[in-house]
Amino acid sequence: MALLPGPTEMSTTSLKPKSVETRQNVVILFAGDSGDGIQLTGSQFTDTNALFGNDVSTFPNFPAEIRAPQGTIAGVSGFQLHFGSVEIWTPGDQCDVLVVMNAAALKANLIKLKKGGHLIINTDGFDRKNLRLAGYVDDADPLTDGTLEHYALHSVDVTKLTRTALEGTTLGMKEKDRCKNMFVLGFINWLYSRENALNEAFLQKKFAKKPELLDANLKALSAGYFFGETSETFTTRFEVKPAPMPQGVYRSITGNQGTALGLIAGAQKAKLDLFYGSYPITPASEILHELSRHKNFGVVTFQAEDEIAAISSAIGASYGGALGITASSGPGIALKTEALGLAFMLEIPLVIVNVQRGGPSTGLPTRTEQADLWQAVHGRNGEAPIPVIAASTPIDCFDMAFEAVQIALEHMTPVILLTDGYIANGSEPWRFPAAKDLAAIHPPFIPAKESGSSSEGFLPYLRDDRGVRPWALPGQAGLQHRIGGIEKQDRTGNISYDPANHERMVRLRAEKVARIADRFKPIRLDSGPPEGEVLVVGWGSTYGAIRTAALRLQGEGRSVAHVHLRHLFPFNKGLGPLLQRYRKVLVPEMNSGQLRQLLRAEFLVDAQGFNKIQGMPFTSEEIRDGILNLMDR
Amino acid sequence: MSNKEHMEGTPGQALPTGSSKVDFSSDQEVRWCPGCGDYSILKQMQTLLEQSGRKKEEVVFISGIGCSSRFPYYMDTYGLHGIHGRAPAIVSGLRSVRPELSVWMITGDGDALSIGGNHIIHLLRRNVDVNVLLFNNEIYGLTKGQYSPTSPEGAVTRSTPMGSTDHPFNPMALFKGADGTFLARSMDRDPKHMREVLARADAHRGTSMVEIYQNCNVFNDGAFEVFTEKATKAANTLFVEHGRPLVFAGGTKGIKLDGFTPTIVDLTDGKHAVDDLWVHDERDGFKASLLVRIFHDPRVEGGMPRPFGVFYVHDRPTHEEKLHAQVQRVKQTKGAADLDALLKGEHTWMIG
């Protein structure tokens, strides 16, 4: 990308027509105090661009504290948006534009701005107090001390301009200042040749019952837009043309929304009610919020007294014939572990979503990590293999949630779906499917006509050719039976301590889960040659960064292929042979090498790790460097 | 010491199988210790269901872990033997999606009050419609004899060889505190009373909590003999009935309320009459709070007799009634499920 014009002085006098430059893609980061409304500014600008036809990817990043001390680094909230006229796979590595509302936001985020990038600052957030709170000591002032000389600095007194625009309204100063985010949004809309219309419609709805606030927010939005037009802060506007996306109707979706909708769609396609037992936890709570809005889909949400009750109630609901679901993040999943074993032992359908965050223990609640893979695959007492699948993008959360429901219901097993905070909160445009195009789901119910007992009585653990037991529901006459967590006799389900029976049951249960791999589609490379130098094996939310890096290296003539795993247990049957077709295997992960070890154990392959454990996603640049390092080794 | 007076349900005794009656016993061999109080409870439960005319397939037993929790395997109904302490949560999920079933929960003093303590209070506050049989034997049986949260202070057990220093729960007071809507106590040695109490529990809509004193003849034999043995029962127990004055000891003693303080009075000394006594009103929540607080050792000087019977009944909508009423309301206002509309969401745009 070409370097942008240098710093400009601010003035609001002339009305010279401004030139428009076209950009292929832009990364913009809005940052401010957590009370500044940054998330709203970011998501509104995202919606506008998506509606315009850009491909977009977002990364909201906020503090764990609800009201962290104002003005401090700890209280900085950020929203990064990558939009373009080309395919976009990540929220972007380095920013083209950084908008900061105060000194702390600058200090926390300047490192992410490209040299020569546009830096838009709210000067009111750089008074002595704010500088001190941000940790600039001894009267240091980044605005004047040369810190910013490599950037295109645009100083705007957003606070003052917003207050001026709202003169004559009845709002208090505090309420006026809360409209700053709309001023910024209006200005950015102007800068990128977008209109305010979508945001105006949003405000009309949001403040329908508060006309004074509506009026103020609309005024601030419009003032920001006109400020762009009249001031000389920017002499150039930019334009990002629509992306060549497949034709169709789109909406925006976050990963947690995708997960919630995928679960509802699964229940609908199985013609079942959905029971969601949950205990609030970051970053999984939005799934509960989303599901609780859709009770007309036969969705029952149960905010349980704790994580254990959340999963246990879901087991009770599945026992009753509904689709039982629970979700949490690492610490909550740890609490659910014993009940997970029960669900496995009962062989009852259940979906468990883990929206991973930084661990161990409480760890980094609002940061992302992929460090719960071993917990998902191994974390139970006894031998209790449970299918583990993972989503790679916000949209993929929908697809994988749907698949989790399919596997759980059609194979009578708990299924763990791994997502993480990065894709759970990130969003992208979604060409949503039609309901009729989603596969029907067929749980192994026992038809009413077969009710009634054979000579042996009803056998709750009599398996079909896939090793799957039938799902008899309380209320079905003649099928009364007892199930439980104690080892059971083959076929009858009665308690059995017989040594040979125990070994048979352990093997039967494992075999049933292993055979779920029979339903997976053949493994497919995401990109790259079918054999060659390096195969990059990824899973989960690293997808965009790996894809971007792999495509770039392929463009540079490098022999690099990328495969992204959605099925982590059992693995796709084609994975073993695929790994043999490359000289080197690289496994980038946001952990110390959990998938790498599983691959080594399963396939005796010398997989190499490339690991980042900072609570932050990989940039595609980092992945590229990792691949090149391995190639040069 | 206390096995002389066995009534119904002794192991090895064939269960009566009337030709017209539905037999609710499963084909599984009952494996409690010979002489265990659990047999009596199983027998009364089966009899109650046989007399109720209920269909087997409409009945579900859910349990946790412990001796009592094997119960579902002995009933020819649907049954789920869960994990330690979590039966209330499993019940809550089941009831949320299948409100038409008759659900019974079997638990013990360790299962309900120790490891599952958190779940039991939330079951009660939500008023999930389930009949809970809490087998209280004041000991951990399945793990072979450690003290439980209902063991009295000083109890000498495998884990407290020098006596327990823990203060025990008063289960009924705890359940009252959690806004339980049906609170009752019975005992394994009084099958008739137990059956009556269980029938009342069955009839109640909401969480029916029945604490049953159950003798563990292996690890805590005689824990309740002062209440159950003929020689001492009358003087040390108070069987309450709705609308009747609180009398005990064969009608020779009664309890009156002295302000908020229950006091024992002698009905034979000419100074007190039955008219002076506290009349039990199971619908009175304030008085029930006092009644469940009568939890003394009656053998100690001034100790009150232990109350048995239905202490409190309160009609309050159940968890699942409210849940389904809300779902119905939402269906009316938002319309039936339209998956396409859901996937579409509120804002869409067209490309191409």
Q: Measured between alpha carbons, how far is A427 from A252 in angstroms, rounded to an integer? A: 7
- CA of A470 to nearest chain B CA: how many angstroms apart? 15
* Nearest CB to B344 within list A251, A321, A322: A251
Six token digits for residue A198:
């979508």
pLDDT at A454 over 70: no
Q: By CA distance, what is A451's nearest residue in B? A: B57
DSSP string, A84-122: ESS---SS-SSEEEEEESSHHHHHHHGGGEEEEEEEEEE
The sheet carrying A323-328 orders its strands as A299-303, A274-278, A323-328, A350-356, A414-420, A388-390, A567-569
Whether B128 is covered by a domain: the verdict is yes
Give, to the nearest 10 degrees, the angle between helix B319-334 and helix B87-97: 40
- The pLDDT of residue B21 is 64
Using an 8 Å Cβ cutoff, are A195 and A47 in contact? no
- The pLDDT of residue A8 is 39
Residues 6+ apart with CB under 8 A from A250: A50, A429, A430, A431, A432, B348, B349, B350, B351
Integer angstrom CA distances of residue B323 from A110, A285, B130, B203, B227: 50, 20, 15, 21, 41
> B98 to chain A: which residues are within 8 Å by CB?
320-321, 474-475
* Listed residue (B331, B47, B348, B20) closest to B192, CA to CA: B47
pLDDT at A171 over 50: yes
Residues listed for chain A = 633
Whether B276 is covered by a domain: the verdict is no
ipTM of the complex: 0.94
> B62 to chain A: which residues are within 8 Å by CB?
316
- The pLDDT of residue A19 is 87
**Beta-carbon separation of B90 and A265 below 8 A:** no
Q: By CA distance, what is B97's nearest residue in A? A: A317
- CA of B171 to nearest chain A CA: how many angstroms apart? 20
Q: Measured between alpha carbons, how far is B295 from B289 in angstroms, rounded to an integer? A: 12
CATH number of A532-632, picked from 3.30.1330.60, 1.10.3470.10, 3.40.190.10, 3.40.50.920: 3.40.50.920
**Beta-carbon separation of A316 and B93 below 8 A:** yes
Integer angstrom CA distances of residue B219 from A172, B71, B214: 72, 19, 12
- The pLDDT of residue A16 is 57
- The pLDDT of residue A592 is 98
Work out the average pLDDT over A382-395.
98
Whether B306 is covered by a domain: the verdict is no
| Domain spans of chain A, in order of start | 19-239, 251-437, 444-519, 532-632
Whether B236 is covered by a domain: the verdict is no
What are the tens digits of pLDDT across the range A298-335? 999 999 999 999 999 999 999 999 999 999 999 999 99
Chain B interface disruption, residue of A56, A198, A299, A312, most B CBs within 10 A: A312
- The pLDDT of residue B16 is 45
Q: Does the structural domain A251-437 have CATH classification 3.40.50.970?
A: yes
Instruction: Give strand pairing partners of A484.
Output: B81
pLDDT tier, A4 (very low <50, low <70, confident <90, very high otherwise):
very low
pLDDT at A604 over 60: yes
**Beta-carbon separation of A250 and B350 below 8 A:** yes
Give contacts of B 86-105 with A, CB under 8 A: 86, 88-98, 100-101
- CA of B75 to nearest chain A CA: how many angstroms apart? 9
* Nearest CB to B93 within list A47, A247, A275: A275
- The pLDDT of residue A2 is 32
Ordered mean pLDDT values, 10 residues apiece, chain B (352 residues): 40 43 88 95 96 95 96 96 98 98 98 98 98 98 96 96 97 98 98 98 98 97 96 97 98 96 96 96 98 94 94 98 95 94 92 80
Work out the average pLDDT over A58-86.
89
Whether B116 is covered by a domain: the verdict is yes
pLDDT tier, A64 (very low <50, low <70, confident <90, very high otherwise):
confident
pLDDT tier, A87 (very low <50, low <70, confident <90, very high otherwise):
very high
Judge residue A602's burial from the number of C-beta atoms within 10 Å of its C-beta, 0-12 exposed, 13-18 middle, 19 or more buried.
middle
SS3 assignment, position B93 = helix
pTM attached to this predicted model:
0.92
> A339 to chain B: which residues are within 8 Å by CB?
83, 86
The total number of structural domains that make up chain B? 1
**Beta-carbon separation of A481 and B93 below 8 A:** no
Q: Measured between alpha carbons, how far is A384 from B73 in angstroms, rounded to an integer? A: 23
pLDDT at A257 over 70: yes
Q: Under CATH, which architecture does the A19-239 domain have?
A: 3-Layer(aba) Sandwich (3.40)
- The pLDDT of residue B1 is 37
With the C-alpha atoms ordered A93, A99, A101, A107, is the resulting torsion angle positive or negative?
A: positive
- CA of A603 to nearest chain B CA: how many angstroms apart? 36
Chain B interface disruption, residue of A205, A263, A313, A405, most B CBs within 10 A: A313
pLDDT at A77 over 80: yes
Which residues constitute the domain of residue B322?
1-228+317-352
- The pLDDT of residue A232 is 80
Chain B interface disruption, residue of A482, A483, A487, A496, most B CBs within 10 A: A482
Whether B76 is covered by a domain: the verdict is yes
Using an 8 Å Cβ cutoff, are A44 and A233 in contact? no
> A320 to chain B: which residues are within 8 Å by CB?
93-94, 97-98, 101
Whether B245 is covered by a domain: the verdict is no
SS3 assignment, position B160 = strand
The sheet carrying B253-258 orders its strands as B247-248, B253-258, B261-266
The sheet carrying A248-254 orders its strands as A427-430, A248-254, B349-351
Q: What is the CATH number of the domain that holds B186?
A: 3.40.50.970
The sheet carrying A532-539 orders its strands as A560-565, A532-539, A582-589, A608-611
Would the CATH topology of A251-437 be identical to that of A532-632?
Answer: yes
> B101 to chain A: which residues are within 8 Å by CB?
320, 474-475
What are the tens digits of pLDDT across the range A329-375? 999 999 999 999 999 999 999 999 999 999 999 999 999 999 999 99
Whether B252 is covered by a domain: the verdict is no
- The pLDDT of residue A238 is 94
Q: Measured between alpha carbons, how far is B333 from A467 in angstroms, rounded to an integer? A: 44
What are the tens digits of pLDDT across the range A6-46? 333 344 444 556 789 999 999 999 999 988 999 999 999 99
Using an 8 Å Cβ cutoff, are A177 and A157 in contact? no
